[in-house]
Amino acid sequence: MYSRVATKAAARGYASVASPAVTSTANGIRVAATGGDSGLATVSLVINAGSRHETVETAGAAHYLKAFGFRNTQGRTSFRTIREAELNGAQLTAEATRENITYRVQCFSDAVPYFVDVLGDIAAETRFAEHEFRDVERVVEFEALSARADAATRALDGVHQAAFRGGLGNSLYAPHGSPVATGNAVAQYAKSALVGGRVAVVATGVDATELARLVGESKLSQLPSQSAPALEAAQFVGGMQQVYESASPVAHYALAFPCAPGAAPVLAALLGSRRAKWGVGSSPLAQAASRLGFSAEAFSFSYSDAGVVGVLVSAPATHMREAVKQVAECVQKYVARPDASSVQRAVAAARVD
């Protein structure tokens, strides 16, 4: 039923931002950039090594590799990297998704050459020392515990586990008792991922030719020239996962469906993503939730070969049955059979988001 929505969305043209210039280095690293004259730039090192790529023996490795971002390398201490980022007014962030790990720098344009070198050091010379692993381990454990303590985060993690089992179903967070127990284990996972075919450098506010030159002169050029291994296609299996907590008076229910990756944000907007900080919103989903006294938030996830869209419902346990019934009716009425104006509004909302 979702293919009709995607077709309607694609049929209408909308203004778009400038397309990035994309090139490749000699060892296969993809380099993409869009220029700008704001004086600010963002440079990201993207490694195709998210939790989707983990096995039973490496469960949690992606979480650990993310946490090792901007740590000690052969040529720089983490103190030096952070201190010089502060002196340059830059922001350093590391994040992990199910497909990629990203180390990102936001800085002034004239500092881009320095931070491309920093990213090159991270890729080629992170030390993964055992004494530093203990610090990283504490960070990983805290982030995992915090995620498990948040019902919404745990529900969305459960959606992926029920929908895909392995691959995209792997958790973003290292499990308790992860088999990754040493810095060397993280180093081995990083070594398999840090090859030219699985790495990209993406930037805004930087000339594409200049960025390609900087990448070619950095230690990123030392990464092995290997292509990414064939990845098993994601398959939405579907299913149900339940977690019981009798002490909580509030229950959470996630209803999810498969869709094309590009259609996922539009479908979520059709369901009615929150558009204002205050108020309940005007979407049918928001109105139903307000009328019956529960919370319902649309969500979507887009991956290279799969998409997921759905609604996360939070309500008193005694009212959950009626809440889910109302949500299912909204999905059937407004997503399965949308009118043209609804699709137009959804596409516009998805572009803004």
Q: Which two tokens stand for residue 310?
A: 């759905």
Contact present, 153 and 168 (Cβ < 8 Å): no
List pLDDT tens digits, range 215-271: 999 999 999 998 888 888 898 888 877 777 666 788 888 889 999 998 888 888 888
Helix axes 183-193, 130-149, angle to 10 degrees: 80
- For residues 206 and 20, the answer to whether their CB atoms sit within 8 Å is no
Least confident of 27-31, 126-130, 185-189, 295-299: 295-299
Tens digit of pLDDT for each residue in 164-189? Answer: 988 999 999 999 999 999 999 999 99
| Residue-averaged pLDDT of the chain | 87
Instruction: Please report, as a single letter, which amino acid is at residue 113.
Output: P
Query: Are the beta carbons of 313 and 164 closer than 8 angstroms?
Result: no
Contacts for 297 with CB less than 8 Å, ≥ 6 apart? 273, 274, 311, 312
| Residue 243, pLDDT score | 73
- Global model pTM greater than 0.75: yes
Band of the pLDDT at 10, cuts 50, 70, 90? very low
Q: What is the pLDDT of residue 14?
A: 44
CB 206 within 8 A of CB 109: yes
